[in-house]
Homo-oligomer: A and B are copies of this chain.
Amino acid sequence: MNSAVCAIAQTPEPPYYVVAFTSVRTPVDDGYEAMAQLMLDLAARQAGFLGVESVRDAEGVGITLSYWSSLEHIRAWRNHIEHTAACDLGRAQWYAHYFTRIAKVERDYGFAAG
């Protein structure tokens, strides 16, 4: 599997849930990349985790889509002690703005060049 294919999460048939996190970074770095990677790795080990897609552009605007089997699994991850601590740090220094949306995926379809 090449990196292009890996950029798109291999999710199961719907229904499942997506947490869409759109954020604007501050200019503060101070451990952000290491923490972001730590949180991705930790999320991937949680029950109900189905996959993640994450992109940030040169202007510091990012979108992360994480996929989960249920709202209960999303709630458990939100309340995970290491995750809440990272979110506190994020609000204190790394994020100027963010917006989170929790949505139920009802339909999906894809394309891969032949």
Check if B98 sits within 8 Å of A108, measured CB to CB: no
Q: Within the complex, what minimum Cβ distance (angstroms) separates A36 from chain B?
A: 13
Q: Within the complex, what minimum Cβ distance (angstroms) separates A40 from chain B?
A: 15
Contact-size category for A: 35 or more
CB-contact partner of A97 in B8, B56, B61, B96, under 8 A: B8
The contact string, 1 if C-beta is below 8 Å from chain B, for chain A 60-97, is 11110100000100000000000000000001000111
Task: Report the nearest B residue to A74, measured CB to CB.
Answer: B107
Which residues of B are found within 8 Å of A110, using beta-carbon distances?
Answer: 97-100
Of the A-B pairs whose beta carbons lie under 8 Å apart in the complex, a sample of 5, sorted by A's number, is A53-B63, A55-B56, A101-B108, A102-B106, A103-B105
